[in-house]
């Protein structure tokens, strides 16, 4: 009988302890216990049938309960177990406290066990259920608290993450990948390293603007380089990639196959749908074919480039999916090429070459509806190249089995190599990089000539105003052209053969069809409406009120002319520039354009800038001044393809930041109230912290709103063209110094290197 009681106690202790301590059964055992209780009272099925019953979700396997019974029975009798289960081994290893509890229970008197036996035997299921229910209620309360706190914790984490992300957002609003925050020591070390690197760059920089200039016409005294880098030779197609003509596979000669691949690579481009492009391509392609191929391939429509196009797409995809290691190998190989061919020695200084690679062969595209689009740009050979270097330098070696067309030693030019391309017959050059001495000197001289124009521009304007009344038609036409170049910053335009280039025009080549005269339009008198294609086939459309004398002369020029006739039929660009040179040494139509662009920037910055504005507002003022110049010079661009999505993302960030600001202000208000009621220093510190949070949110919100305004205003305006080519950089450097704006906000590193001469020599009081 005593053994039976011990067995019951052991079973009760085991089951109760398991319910109390084991997490595996803390959540699901309640249902299982109810099942056991119900089974012990009403279920009278044989055990074999009960064992075969499939388990429901949440039930405890009966075989496991039996094992527990057996374990406790053996412990009560003091008999050793034959083998420990994994479950029991885990209990032995990790739950020492539980064993101590078992030991204390076993040491209690037998009388105490008898007194509790009947109560606990009858209520074992109820006890287990009650104990488990209490634990479940506790877990549920904790879960409910976590659920209640989750939105607040999630919001705080989101605010913190977005604030951290904002710190990583650049001028263009694009976030970089979030990395581990650096320690103070790491940040200080990085700062010191950056400063040291900057100092080394400054020490290595060639301060050519501090040296004495060479006599006029002399560009250098010593020049040595390795020559141009030629693209690799064509590799024939693999055997499984075939070209088909009229449904049959055709093996092309290497020359014809290469040109066919050029066309196949463009099948997804609209160029290959244009008749001009297709006709020019097919004409030049047939020139590369053998006699047999020309005899066979007579219609482009019967050509199937599908497999060639698919091979091209696969290669593009493979390049896109390259691993970091593969990309690094390619990068290192390219860097070796740069180290060998990308530098030259100019007057004992190592200078970077801009375009040292020969352009590979391909199909000419041109801009707009160019009449020569689709023509074959042939492969450039060493025999086409003219090398320029100093006499006492090592002449670059041509590729094996080839020789240069010519080697010159001309120190009055700045190019290192030149050749003539076959499509338009123009000369191509290899020049030094934009931050080199030769390029920098050229820029400096250009802006200095434009500055000189400020001293005589009034007399020039007075002169062409008088010429508007001249008795000679040629003089009147020149005066009106100068008026347009001065007031509208139009390009002069160049003479060109009809049908050789796209139909782009400048001031001197305007035709009658390009302008319309309105006595009154939109409330203005004497309005000229311009509509023509300018450089790079960019449309120039403008409605401009002009002086009455100019309007009358234009009407006179258009008399008895057809739409296709020249407006200035007695004026050429060369004659105009010759006249300008007589007014001021070095003056051309481009100098006028540079002068008007730079003077407009300086005037706009004076009108728009406010020293009390924050940095974001100052940058908006600068970009608006730059935009005024870009509009004057007709520097347009198509809106980026991702513009709408980018603006939507930015607006979402603005809305989110507004919500955070409202919440931060509410928290600040509460903190002020608590600090007012209690003068505790901790509450005052909390209030100051909330103030800083509100201030930071306001600054970030303002920066985002300014950024959105800036993007919207400049979505179709190309600011960089005028900034790099028409605006004297000294104006921007002086403005940055006066407005306390970092130059890095205006020019990136490449641009700062290009204008290093201006950065070094410009003071805050510079005037153009």
**Active-site residue set:** 726
Place of tokens 């390049």: 319
CA distance 678 to 124: 56
Listed in sequence order, the residues at least 6 apart from 108 whose beta carbon sits closer than 8 Å to its beta carbon are none
Is residue 417 within 8 Å of 228, Cβ to Cβ? yes
- Measured between alpha carbons, how far is residue 546 from residues 39, 183, 481, 652 in Å? 105, 64, 13, 45
- Per DSSP, the residues of 446-510 read HHHHHHHHHHHHHHHHHHHHHHTT-SSHHHHHHHHHHHHHHHH---------TTTS-S---STT-
- Reference 490, options 551, 521, 535; nearest CA is 535
DSSP letter string, 705-728: HHHHHHHHHTTTB-HHHHHHHTS-
Which helix (DSSP H) or strand (DSSP E) does residue 543 occupy? Answer: strand 539-545
In angstroms, the Cα distances linking 357 to 402, 418, 487, 508, 645 are 17, 12, 41, 36, 37
Q: What is the rounded CA–CA span in Å between residue 723 and residue 69?
A: 88
Distance separating alpha carbons of residues 490 and 509, to the nearest angstrom: 11
Q: What is the DSSP string of 66-121?
A: HHHHHHHHHHHHTPPPS---HHHHHHHHH-HHHHHHHHHHHTS-HHHHHHHHHHHH
The dihedral through the CA atoms of 49, 52, 58, 59 has a sign that is: positive
- Give the H or E element holding residue 544: strand 539-545
What is d(CA 559, CA 567) in angstroms, rounded to the nearest whole number? 10
Rounded CA-CA distance 446/426 in Å is: 24
Is residue 239 helix, strand or coil? coil
Enumerate residues 6+ apart whose C-beta is below 8 A from 746: 622, 732, 736
String of DSSP letters for 262-294 = HHHTTTTSGGGG-HHHHHHHHHHHHHHS-HHHH
Angle at 575 between CA 421 and CA 580, to 5 degrees: 105
User: Which runs of E-coded beta strand occur in 178-239?
Assistant: 223-224
Please give the torsion angle defined by the CA atoms of residues 541, 546, 549 and 555, in that order, rounded to the nearest 10 degrees.
30
Tell the residue number behind the tokens 């200035």, with chain if given. Answer: 568
First to last CA, the chain: 114
Contact 718, 630 (CB under 8 A): yes
Rounded Cα distance between 317 and 319, Å, is 5
Return the half-sphere exposure (C-beta side, CA atoms, 13 A cut-off) of residue 739: 27
Beta-strand runs (E) in 584-668: none
> Tokens 């001028």, residue?
171
Tokens representing residue 4 in the block: 């039976």
Phi-psi bin for 543: left (phi > 0), alpha (psi -120 to 50), beta? beta
**What's the half-sphere exposure (Cβ side, CA atoms, 13 Å) at 744?**
4
DSSP one-letter code for 211: S
């Amino acid at each position: 009988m005593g053994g039976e009681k011990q067995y019951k106690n052991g079973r009760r202790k085991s089951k109760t302890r398991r319910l109390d301590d084991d997490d595996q059964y803390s959540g699901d055992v309640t249902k299982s216990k109810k099942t056991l209780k119900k089974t012990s009272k009403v279920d009278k099925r044989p055990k074999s049938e009960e064992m075969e019953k499939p388990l429901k979700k949440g039930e405890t396997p009966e075989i496991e309960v039996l094992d527990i019974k057996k374990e406790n029975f053996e412990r009560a009798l003091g008999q050793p177990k034959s083998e420990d289960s994994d479950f029991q081994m885990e209990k032995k290893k990790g739950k020492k406290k539980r064993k101590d509890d078992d030991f204390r229970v076993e040491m209690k008197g037998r009388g105490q066990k008898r007194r509790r036996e009947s109560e606990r035997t009858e209520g074992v299921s109820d006890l287990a259920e009650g104990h488990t229910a209490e634990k479940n209620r506790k877990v549920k309360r904790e879960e409910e608290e976590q659920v209640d706190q989750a939105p607040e914790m999630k919001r705080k984490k989101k605010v913190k993450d977005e604030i951290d992300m904002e710190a990583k957002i650049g001028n263009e609003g694009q976030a970089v990948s979030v990395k581990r925050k650096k320690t103070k020591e790491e940040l200080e070390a990085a700062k010191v390293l950056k400063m040291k690197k900057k100092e080394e760059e400054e020490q290595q920089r060639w301060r050519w603007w501090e040296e004495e200039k060479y006599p006029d016409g002399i560009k250098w005294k010593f020049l040595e380089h390795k020559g141009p880098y030629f693209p690799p030779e064509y590799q024939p197609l693999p055997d499984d990639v075939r070209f088909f003509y009229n449904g049959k596979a055709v093996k092309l000669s290497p020359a014809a196959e290469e040109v066919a691949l050029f066309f196949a690579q463009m099948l997804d481009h609209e160029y290959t749908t244009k008749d001009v492009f297709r006709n020019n391509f097919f004409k030049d392609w047939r020139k590369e074919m053998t006699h047999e191929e020309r005899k066979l391939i007579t219609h482009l429509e019967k050509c199937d480039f599908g497999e060639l196009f698919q091979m091209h797409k696969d290669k593009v995809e493979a390049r896109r999916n390259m691993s970091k290691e593969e990309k690094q190998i390619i990068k290192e190989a390219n860097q070796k090429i740069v180290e060998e061919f990308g530098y030259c020695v100019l007057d004992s200084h190592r200078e970077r070459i801009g375009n040292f690679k020969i352009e590979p062969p391909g199909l000419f595209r041109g801009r707009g509806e160019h009449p020569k689009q689709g023509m074959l740009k042939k492969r450039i050979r060493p025999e086409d190249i003219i090398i320029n270097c100093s006499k006492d330098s090592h002449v670059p070696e041509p590729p094996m089995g080839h020789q240069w067309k010519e080697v010159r030693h001309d120190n009055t030019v700045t190019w290192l190599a030149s050749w003539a391309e076959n499509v338009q017959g123009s000369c191509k050059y290899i020049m030094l990089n934009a931050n080199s001495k030769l390029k920098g000197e050229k820029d400096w001289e250009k802006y200095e000539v434009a500055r000189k124009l400020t001293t005589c521009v009034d007399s020039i304007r007075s002169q062409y105003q008088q010429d508007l009344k001249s008795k000679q038609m040629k003089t009147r036409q020149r005066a009106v052209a100068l008026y347009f170049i001065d007031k509208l910053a139009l390009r002069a335009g160049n003479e060109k053969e009809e049908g050789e280039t796209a139909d782009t025009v400048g001031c001197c080549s305007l035709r009658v069809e390009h302008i319309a005269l309105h006595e009154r339009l939109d409330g203005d008198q004497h309005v000229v409406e311009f509509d023509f294609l300018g450089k790079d086939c960019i449309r120039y459309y403008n409605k401009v009120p002009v002086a009455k004398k100019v309007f009358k002369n234009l009407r006179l020029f258009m008399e008895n002319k057809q739409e296709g006739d020249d407006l200035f039929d007695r004026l050429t660009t060369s004659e105009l520039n010759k006249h300008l040179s007589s007014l001021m040494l070095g003056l051309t139509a481009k100098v006028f354009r540079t002068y008007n662009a730079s003077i407009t920037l300086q005037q706009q910055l004076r009108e728009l800038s406010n020293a009390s504005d924050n940095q974001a507002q100052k940058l908006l003022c600068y970009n608006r001044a730059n935009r005024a110049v870009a509009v004057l010079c007709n520097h347009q661009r198509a809106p980026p393809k991702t513009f709408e999505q980018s603006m939507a993302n930015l607006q979402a960030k603005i809305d989110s930041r507004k919500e955070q600001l409202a919440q931060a202000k509410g928290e600040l208000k509460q903190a002020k109230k608590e600090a007012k009621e209690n003068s505790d220093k901790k509450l005052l510190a909390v209030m100051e912290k909330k103030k800083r949070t509100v201030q930071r949110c306001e600054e970030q919100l303002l920066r985002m709103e300014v950024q959105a305004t800036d993007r919207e205003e400049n979505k179709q305006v190309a600011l960089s063209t005028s900034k790099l080519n028409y605006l004297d950089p000294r104006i921007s450097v002086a403005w940055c110094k006066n407005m306390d704006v970092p130059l890095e906000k205006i020019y990136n590193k490449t641009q700062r290197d290009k204008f290093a001469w201006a950065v070094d020599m410009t003071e805050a009081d510079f005037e153009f």
